[in-house]
Structure formats: structure tokens, C-alpha cells
Amino acid sequence: MPSIAVVGASADRSKFGNKCVRAYASRGYTVFPIHPRETSIEGFPAYPTLLHVPVPFLDLVSLYVPPAVGLLILDDLRAKTVGEVWLNPGADAPEVVFKARNLGFHVVVGCSIVAVGISPDELSDQ
């Protein structure tokens, strides 16, 4: 089963970080929500950082955080083996893209929700 860590996951169902958790779960992914204060998001255990995720390999890491946070997250990400790093709108500042590529990550700039064939608008806020 493929895996995804959603950095910036949210318990608020109107936020894209929550919609991403639900979209990937609906496609059979093992989902690891990353949030510094939440303990559970959409029924999945939430982890305070990527370093706390209990697996060494992640197929995808999707960032829904401001660029300043994203730059810090990339340092943590070096401790994992990652297939792709998705930088969603708002997390895709040039300096984040540059650093991620320089660290050797396969970077995709775009909406990771759309990548699994779901429009964020299809996911109810309820």
C-alpha cells in the first residue's frame, strides 16, 4: 500500500491539509498526518514532525505549510527515503523548490489532491 505524509494536515475539514488526508485515504494510501499539536486527524494518528513517522520510506510527502516552515521541514525530510515531495500552492516558493531539489528530492509543484483524481471542491467541509 503506498504511503503519504501530509505536512500541515489539519483537523479543520475546510482546510486543504485535511482534504489531502481524506483524498489519499479514499485512494487506499497509508496516511501519516503531520501536525505539531493534533494527536489524531480523520481517524489517523497524527505525528508532531516527520521524524516521528514510524516508517523509513514514504512514497509521497505533501506540504501544506508556509515557505518558512517548509524550508525547515526539508531538513527533517533528509532522515527519510522519499519518492516524491509535493509542494502545493502556497508552499511552493522558489526558495523551497530550490532547496528541495538541491537536497536531491524529486519535487512536484502542484496540487497533490488533484494528482489522485479528486478536485478539492468535491470534498465536503462537513
- Given a contact cutoff of 8 angstroms between Cβ atoms, the answer to whether 65 and 73 are in contact is yes
- Spatial neighbors of 41 by CB under 8 A, at least 6 apart, are 9, 10, 11, 18, 21, 33, 35
48/35 Cα distance (integer angstroms): 5
pLDDT at 125 (0 to 100): 82
pLDDT at 124 (0 to 100): 83
- Three-state DSSP at 119 gives coil
pLDDT at 126 (0 to 100): 72
**pLDDT band (50, 70, 90) for residue 64:** very high
pLDDT at 87 (0 to 100): 98
Fold category of 3-122 in CATH:
Rossmann fold (3.40.50)
**Please, is 109 exposed, middle or buried when counting C-beta atoms within 10 Å of its C-beta (0-12, 13-18, 19+)?**
middle
How do the domains of the chain map onto residue ranges?
3-122
pLDDT digits (tens, 9 = 90+) for 75-116: 999 999 999 999 999 999 999 999 999 999 999 999 999 999
Mean pLDDT for 68-75 is: 95
pLDDT at 15 (0 to 100): 96
Cα–Cα separations (whole angstroms), residue 105 to 40, 77, 86: 28, 9, 10
pLDDT at 35 (0 to 100): 97
124/103 Cα distance (integer angstroms): 36
* pLDDT greater than 80 at residue 14: yes
Mean pLDDT for 28-56 is: 97
- Three-state DSSP at 41 gives strand
- Three-state DSSP at 77 gives helix
Q: Average pLDDT of the chain?
A: 96
